[in-house]
Structure formats: C-alpha cells, structure tokens
Amino acid sequence: VLLLNGHWPETRHKSSFGIAFDIDGVILRGKDPIGGSPQALRRLYGDSGNLNVPFLFLTNGGGIPESRRASELSELLGVKILPSQVLQGHSPFKSFMERYENQLIVATGKGEPAVVMSEYGFKKVVSLDEYASCFENIDPLAQYKKWTTKQGLDRSSLPLNTVPRYDVSSETVKAVFVVSDPVDWGRDIQVLCDVLRCGGLPGQENGHQPQPPLYFAADDLEYQAAFPSSRLGMGAFRIALESVFNRIHYNPLEYVCFGKPDPFVFKNAEAMLKQLQPSYHSDNFKEPGDSGLQSFKTLYMIGDNPSVDVKGAQQAGHPWFSILTRTGVFRGKHNHAEFPADLASQTMKLSACCKLIFIN
Ligand code: G3P
Ligand code: MG
C-alpha cells in the first residue's frame, strides 16, 4: 500500500492488511488520547467516511459492555467505532453462556461487571459488591472504609427478565468471573477465598468441597494508566489471591486466564478483522464464488506491553506482525530482550506506527 502525498489511497479496495490497536498505553493514558491517536484513526477511513482499512481495539481492559466502550471511544477519538471493533479481556466469557446461563455466578471488577455478564446472556449473575452485602460481617474491615459502595445490584440497568432471584445462604456459586481490575482487593480476596474454599457457600465449611471454576479476563501484571509509572493489573491481583488461597487451603487455586497473549484471542481478532474488510459488506468486490472473506497478508498488533501484546502476536504467528510503542509499559532503550517486537524504534508512538505501516 502506498502513502500518496501523505494521504491514504482514496479508492476502496480489498485491504491486504488490518490493524489491532491496544488501548492502554497506545491509544489512551487514563482517559486521555495519546500518540496522535484521533488523527491516526481518522486516516483509516476514506473521504466518504467508509472504513478503508479494517481495524479493531484488542484490549485486556474492560468493565463495561462492548457497545458502551465503542460509544466512549467514538466520542474520545472522533471516529465511528462499532461494538464489533472492540474486543475486551472479558469478551470470551460469552462462550460460557450455555454452561452457566441459569446458574448463580459472581462477577467482580471495576465498572459494571454484572451488567457486562448480563448483556452476554447470563441470567443469574451477581456482582461481588452485592454478594458481599448479603453476608453480615463477611468483611471485618468494612466499617473502616470511608468510601460508600453500592449496596445491591443496579437493577435499573438490567433487562427486566434478567433480575436474579437467589438465596445466597443455600444456593452455591457455580463460577466466579474476574471481569476487570478489582477495586477493593482486600475485600475481594477475603470473599473469593470464602466462596472458593467452601464450594461456593461462604461460611459453610463441611468437608472437602470442590472449588468452583474461577476465570480471569486477563493476566496483566502491569499496565499503563494516567500515572507516569505502570500500575498493578489483574495479574497482580491474581498473584495476591493465589498466594493467600494456597496458604489457607489444601489444594492449590485452580483458574483460567483469558486475554492477550492467548493465541485464541488473536485468532478471534483475525476473524473479526476479516468481517470488517470493506469487501465483506460490498458485492462490488466479490467475484463469483467469493465469500468476501480474504486472508490478510499482514495483521499489525500495535501494543505497549512486550509480555502481553508482542508475545501474543509472536505466538499467534503468521500473519501477525508486532509493533512496540514507547508510550506505555515498555520504556527500554532498545527492543525488548525476551519478547522483541518485529518493529520497535526509540521514538515510537501511534502516529509514527501508522505512517510506517502505510509506507510498507
Ligand atoms: O486494565 C487494563 C489493562 O490490563 C490492559 O489494557 O488496553 O493495554 O490491553 P490494554
Ligand atoms: Mg497496553
């Protein structure tokens, strides 16, 4: 693809490449756009406002439904982002819907974890905030906490038929989902240890109860937020929970982590990018017998975290090509030693990455 006089080619064509953008540390720092992200993203559209280059956001973050994240990003970046262009850490949780559709599950993390899971179709989901509030004295430190927590589920934001009916004293929790970064680590570690070591019924230790399945949306040790240094992420919470659990329980904690660098996430992103190709939606581009789904020559993963974004792209293999920015977690002088990106330069920020992609 040629960069013509500094502009993107105007005619719609079958793009032989696509782009997956990491969010934290590449597109945003906290709530603020960085690296010239609004301008860079605008250039992925043609003059007619149609998408010329398929792209999506591949983030380990989350806490709100994909549709809401898409609207927030559209507003922040000034381009139309579809919900299908947002793949969050917890997006794969949808695939558990059949297994737990009508069973009591607990969801925790910042934002609205129970709303996220309800939108995926889970009928009996309760946030850890609400769950903990059903057990008197479960958090002995609650009285010392100066902040106010929402007591009870925000039922007004749920579809009517998904309001759960449950009795936490007799109904076992069938699975726990860590949807986004937990807010109150101390309370969450306490209550999750209760749920997980008592077979899903806190306070009722009777013999060896199997641990309910535990799923994490991601396993990032650190990520880039608004503060100048990296912040502790969900992986750090996982280590804290696991360390405590393994000291108080006879069986080690069992869990599954989703999100990057899992190659499944990259496969899924590739499938989604194919559907975002201009040709997929236009019969003008289809030849007889052509499904419109074309294989990509290159898929660029632009990320700031070597052990998450670069490692993931490396493991996924062809057609993924990793580009490492220096606006987030990675601050090294040269390329990362253990997970070197296919492209990393000392001044790399998003706008420079996009220019390079188009020149090549
Ligand atoms: O909490 C978000 C963080 O773990 C990573 O987000 O966009 O850098 O994958 P991102
Ligand atoms: Mg990042």
Which atom of ligand 1 lies at the shortest distance from residue 308's CA?
9
Amino acid 27: pLDDT:
97
Strands 28-29 and 32-33: antiparallel
Ligand nearest to the CA of 26: 2
Which residue is closest in CA terms to ligand 1's atom 8?
24
Which atom of ligand 1 lies at the shortest distance from residue 27's CA?
7
Out of 21, 24, 28, 350, give the residue to mutate to test ligand 1, the one with the largest number of ligand atoms within 8 Å of its CB. 24
Number of other CB atoms surrounding residue 229 within 10 Å: 9
- Ligand 1 neighbour 23 (Cβ under 6 A): yes
Domains recognised in the chain with CATH numbers: 17-88+260-359 (3.40.50.1000), 91-257 (3.40.50.1000)
Answer yes or no: are the C-beta atoms of 216 and 238 closer than 8 Å.
yes
Higher pLDDT, 358 or 15: 358
- Ligand 1 neighbour 230 (Cβ under 6 A): no
Which atom of ligand 1 lies at the shortest distance from residue 220's CA?
4
Which residue is closest in CA terms to ligand 1's atom 1?
61
SS3 label, residue 52: coil
ipTM: 0.98
Number of other CB atoms surrounding residue 282 within 10 Å: 13
Q: Is the backbone of residue 63 left (phi > 0), alpha (psi -120 to 50) or beta?
A: left
Give me the mean pLDDT over the 237-265 stretch. Answer: 97
Give me the mean pLDDT over the 207-224 stretch. Answer: 95
Which atom of ligand 1 lies at the shortest distance from residue 180's CA?
1
pTM: 0.89
The pLDDT tens digits of the residues spanning 3-26 come to 333 444 433 455 689 999 999 999
- Ligand 1 neighbour 24 (Cβ under 6 A): yes
The pLDDT tens digits of the residues spanning 291-333 come to 556 789 999 999 999 999 999 999 999 999 999 999 999 998 8
Is residue 346's pLDDT more than 70? Answer: no
Answer yes or no: are the C-beta atoms of 75 and 129 closer than 8 Å.
no
- Ligand 1 neighbour 306 (Cβ under 6 A): no
The pLDDT tens digits of the residues spanning 330-342 come to 998 899 999 999 9
Ligand nearest to the CA of 59: 1
What are the helix and strand counts (H, E) for the chain? 11, 15
Tell me the CA–centroid distance for residue 343 and ligand 1, in Å.
20
Strands 105-108 and 125-127: parallel
The residues placing their C-beta within 5 Å of ligand 2, an ion, are: 22, 24-25, 304-305
- Ligand 1 neighbour 130 (Cβ under 6 A): no
Which atom of ligand 1 lies at the shortest distance from residue 233's CA?
4
Which residue is closest in CA terms to ligand 1's atom 2?
61
Task: Please state, in angstroms and rounded to a whole number, the distance separating the CA atoms of residues 104 and 124.
Answer: 5
- Ligand 1 neighbour 219 (Cβ under 6 A): no
